[in-house]
Amino acid sequence: MTKIMAACALSKLDKWQEQAIQTKEKYKEIEMSEEFEQLTADVIARTSFGSSYELGKEVFEVQKELFQRAVASSTDITIPGSEYIPTKWNVQTWKLNRRAKNTLKRIIQSKLNSEDETYSDSRYGDDLLGLMLGTLMDESSRKQGIWLNMDEIIDECKMFFFAGHETTSHLLTWTVFVLSLHGEWQERLREEVLRECGTEIPDADKLGKLKLVRTHQFLPLLFNIMHTSVSSSHITLLLSHQEQMNED
């Protein structure tokens, strides 16, 4: 899955580079929080659902809207049974829930119908959903009483989104913000990455060699900054046209 994540990241970097080249100014300002939300959604969709990632992204968008609606109504005074009244708000929420559930059912059913022994880790695919289905459908798992029905599998798929989307995107945004304030750490981390990985896409073994990236020296710096008050999450990406021409 490392290659999938790297491909998503490279695609996003290419998009930023293209925006910087096309701008008429000497710099391009990018809202990093929105960009990282898109990137993490793309990564989770591809690693969770494989070839069905487009449908997965659709589910994530619905889940995001449902989450926003839940937050918006969290301060409302709840009357017992009011969630069953067909108000405009409830009807829209029901529609979103049905849309997410039906889309996930389509993805799961397509996986079950496309059983393939050529996959290395699971006959239902090497993505997270495929691996989960492969484990559940295994005969030894059934004998041990390990089984999930369709609704439980759907809930697990939803958890893929909630467990990693906003948390990861926010951490990436703050990491870039902290690095923008501390250029010396940019240099140290860049040197280690280039030394261990070169210009190749890192695999799991190479990532394990990035000790400075995972060290406890950098994490306190990140979390100390996260506890400070920041007025804006805008980060300016400066790429001059002249530098771009020189690189080409």
Q: What is the pLDDT of residues 100-120, one digit of tens each?
A: 889 888 888 887 777 655 554
Summarize pLDDT for 212-225 with one digit per residue, the tens.
777 655 555 555 54
Between 12 and 244, where is the model more confident?
Answer: 12
Lowest mean pLDDT among 13-17, 19-23, 190-194, 211-215: 211-215
Give pLDDT tens digits for 171-215: 888 888 888 888 888 888 888 888 888 888 888 788 888 887 776
H, E, C per residue of the chain: CHHHHHHHHHHHHHHHHHHHHHCCCCCEEECHHHHHHHHHHHHHHHHHHHHHHHHHHHHHHHHHHHHHHHHHCCCCCCCCCHHHCCCHHHHHHHHHHHHHHHHHHHHHHHHHHCCCCCCCCCCCCCCHHHHHHHHHHCHHHHHCCCCCCHHHHHHHHHHHHHHHHHHHHHHHHHHHHHHHHCHHHHHHHHHHHHHHHCCCCCCHHHHHCCHHHHCCCHHHHHHHHHCCCCCCCCEEECCCHHHHHHHC
Average pLDDT in the chain: 76
pLDDT above 90 coverage of the chain, percent: 4
**Is residue 43 scored above 50 in pLDDT?**
yes
Kindly indicate the confidence band of residue 93, based on its pLDDT and cuts at 50, 70 and 90: very high
Lowest-confidence pick of 45-59, 107-121, 150-164, 210-224: 210-224
* pLDDT at residue 179 in the model: 85
Q: Is the pLDDT of residue 233 over 50?
A: no
Mean per-residue pLDDT for 134-160?
Answer: 72
Average pLDDT over residues 132-136: 75
Query: For the whole prediction, is pTM greater than 0.85?
Result: no
